[in-house]
Amino acid sequence: MPEKKAKKATPAKKRAAKPKLTAKEKTLTKTIEKLEEQVDLLASELVDNQMRVQAAEEKMLRVVAEYENGKRRVEREKERSLQFAKDRVLMGLFPIVDNLERSAKYEEEHKAASDSKQGVKLVLEQIKKYMKDTDEVEAFDPMGEAFDPDFHEAMAMQPAEDVESGIVIEVFEKGYKAGDRILRAAKVVVSQ
C-alpha cells in the first residue's frame, strides 16, 4: 500500500510544477518581458519630458511677464520724460509771459508808442534767446535763396522781373530749425 500513496503524490507534484513551455512560447515570453521593460522605460521618459515641458512653459510665462512689465515700465518712463520736457518748456515761458504782461501794463499806463515798441522788442529777443538756449532753435529767412522743398513751403508762384525762376521772392512766415532738423518750413512765394 505504501506504493499507492507514492503514486498518488506524483501526479499532484506535476500539477504544482510550472507547465513546460514550447520554444515558441519561451521566445514570445522573452519578447513580452523586453517590451514591458521598454514600456516602463518609455513611461519614465514620458514623465521626465512632461516635467521638462512644464518647466519650460513656466519659464516662458515668467519671461513673457517680465517682458510685459518691462514694456509697461518703459512706457511709464517715456510718459514721465515727455511730461518733464513739457514742464521744462512751460517753465521757461513763464518769465516771457511775465514780461509781456509788464509791457502791456506799461503801454496802458503811459501810452507811449516808442517805449512800448522797445518793450515788445525786448520780449521778442527774450523769446528768441529762450528758443536758442532750449534746443538751439533758430529762425531762418530764405529771401533770395533758391526754393528747396525740404526747407520751404511754396504758398504761391509769381512772375518776377530780374529774378530767375525758382527763387524765393517773398517770405510769409520764417522757418525754424533746431540744428539740422526743420521744425517749421518757411512759407514763401517763389518766382516763375
pLDDT band for position 40 (50/70/90)?
A: very high
For residues 29 and 78, give the distance between their C-alpha atoms in angstroms, rounded to a whole number.
72
Q: Are 52 and 59 in contact (CB under 8 A)?
A: no
- What is the average pLDDT across 132-147? 86
Q: Decide whether 24-135 matches 137-192 in CATH topology.
A: no
pLDDT band for position 176 (50/70/90)?
A: confident
Nearest CA to 169 among 145, 153, 151, 148?
A: 145
- What is the average pLDDT across 12-18? 58
Task: Could you please state the CATH topology (level 3) that the domain comprising 137-192 is classified under.
Answer: Nucleotide Exchange Factor Grpe; Chain A, domain 2 (2.30.22)
- What is the average pLDDT across 84-104? 78
**What is the structure's pLDDT at 16?**
57
Domain 24-135 CATH assignment equals 3.10.620: no
For residues 94 and 96, give the distance between their C-alpha atoms in angstroms, rounded to a whole number.
5
Q: pTM of the entire structure?
A: 0.49
Phi, psi of 154, rounded to the nearest 5 degrees: -75, 120
Across 29-33, 103-107, 127-131, 135-139, the highest mean pLDDT is recorded for 29-33
Long-range contacts from 76-85, C-beta under 8 angstroms, 24+ separation: none
| Domain range summary for the chain, segments of one domain joined by + | 24-135, 137-192
Residues forming a β-bridge with 171: 188
Place of cell 516635467: 51
